[in-house]
Amino acid sequence: MKILVCVKQVPDTEEIKVDPVTGSLIREGVPAILNPLDACALEAAVQFKETYGGNVTVISMGPPQAEQALRQCISVGADDAVLITDRAFKDADTLATSYALSMTAKQLAGFDVIFCGKHTLDGETGQVGPQIAEHLNYNQVTSAMDVKLDSGSLLVLRELEEGRQTVAASLPCVITVTKTNYTPRYPSMKSKMAANRKEIKILSASQIEGLDMDRIGMSGSRTKVTKSFVPQAGQAGMIICEETAEQSGRKLAKLLVDAKII
């Protein structure tokens, strides 16, 4: 089984602040972390490899520092890592991102399963995984919480808002992973150090065969951000729960009257 995991390095939103004047995110000094759901996707991939055999490659598109996120992946079970990094990729939207990732996947060739996180901590669109599937003409299953191989095809348990669903999908397939069953493991001290010695393959745009430069980065992006702002936080509501429904009704009516709403 040849497995690919797409991972993104994101700012730790627990530490992030918004510039009150410009409304944009203050990224300086914010620690970069492996997108939490990508850590789950990797765990899913590594468990899959451990059960059915194979090899796990991790890939990220991002700045040179994204190498840290890839080393982290190596320390918890990925076999190889590829970083695609180039100024030309800068300011990509999800379409340009998924295009670049899928072209690289084509070049690396032969992946049976591609795991992605369900969404990122920062962009949070959840689009990149499904788009990769479209670019590569793979099947796709989103929101996976458990993945098994059953006589040559995948059995995936999905977590949906209204319940759970098991679907079968034939290979090759893109799977986006939610947290539930895949708590990332700790690296061991040894694997942590081994990951520091591992060579990470670095590809620039020109090293990706057949890459259409008009479809990557800013020029390949079909969406443009015109403004970003922090929505005003709504006030917390109030729960009225008196001893009887009638008392609750009376209290509600009084509050509404007092507020001159009725």
Partner 1 sequence: MSMILNQDQKDLVALAKEFMEKEVKPHIYELDEKGEFPLELYKKGFELGFHSMDMEEKYGGVGLDYNTISFVLEELAKVDAGFAVSLTLNGLAFSCIAEYGSEEQKKSVSERMAPGGFMTFALTEADSGSNAGALRCSYTRDGDDYIINGPKTFITNGKYGDIHVVFATANPEAGVRGISAFIVEKERAGIQIGKEENKMGLRLSNTCDLFFDNVRVPAANLIGKEGLGFKLAMSALDKGRIFCAAMATGIAQGAFEDCIEYSKLRKPFGAPIATHQAVQFILADMAIQIEAARTVTHNAAFLAQSGAKYSKEAAIAKTFASDMAMNVTTDAVQIFGGYGYSREYPVEKRMRDAKIFQIFEGTNQIQRQIIANAILR
Q: How many residues bind ligand FAD (CB under 6 A)?
A: 31
* C-beta separation of 87 from 100 below 8 A: no
Q: Which does 112 bind (CB under 5 to 8 A by kind): partner 1, ligand FAD, none?
A: none
Determine the interface stretch with partner 1 among 85-93, 162-170, 172-180, 185-193 (rule: CB under 8 A): 185-193
Q: Which does 82 bind (CB under 5 to 8 A by kind): partner 1, ligand FAD, none?
A: none
Token pair recorded at residue 98: 């998924």
Q: Is 60 in the site for ligand FAD (CB under 6 A)?
A: yes
Buried b (16+ CB within 10 A) or exposed e, 27-62: eeebebbbbbbbbbbbbbbbbbbeeeeeebbbbbbb
Q: How many residues bind partner 1 (CB under 8 A)?
A: 8
Q: Which does 40 bind (CB under 5 to 8 A by kind): partner 1, ligand FAD, none?
A: none
Smallest gap, in angstroms, from Cβ of residue 50 to partner 1?
A: 15
- Within 103-122, the residues that bind ligand FAD by CB under 6 A are 116-117, 119-120, 122
Q: Which does 192 bind (CB under 5 to 8 A by kind): partner 1, ligand FAD, none?
A: partner 1
Q: Is 184 in the site for partner 1 (CB under 8 A)?
A: no
Element (H, E) at 50: helix 36-52
Which are the contacts of 174, defined by CB distance < 8 A and separation ≥ 6? 113, 114, 115, 116, 129, 130, 132, 133, 136, 138, 139, 140, 141
Three-class SS string for 155-223? Answer: EEEEEECCEEEEEEEECCEEEEECCCCCCCCCCCHHHHHHHHHCCCEEECHHHCCCCCHHHCCCCCCCC
Of 193, 230, 240, 257, the one binding partner 1 by CB under 8 A: 193
CA distance 189 to 108: 30
Q: Is 240 in the site for partner 1 (CB under 8 A)?
A: no
Determine the interface stretch with partner 1 among 51-59, 155-163, 180-188, 221-229 (rule: CB under 8 A): 180-188
Q: Which does 259 bind (CB under 5 to 8 A by kind): partner 1, ligand FAD, none?
A: none
Q: Which does 145 bind (CB under 5 to 8 A by kind): partner 1, ligand FAD, none?
A: none
Other residues' Cβ atoms within 10 Å of the Cβ of residue 68: 13
- Give me the residues that bind ligand FAD (CB under 6 A), please: 6-8, 35, 37-38, 41, 59-62, 91-94, 97, 101, 116-117, 119-120, 122-129, 223, 225
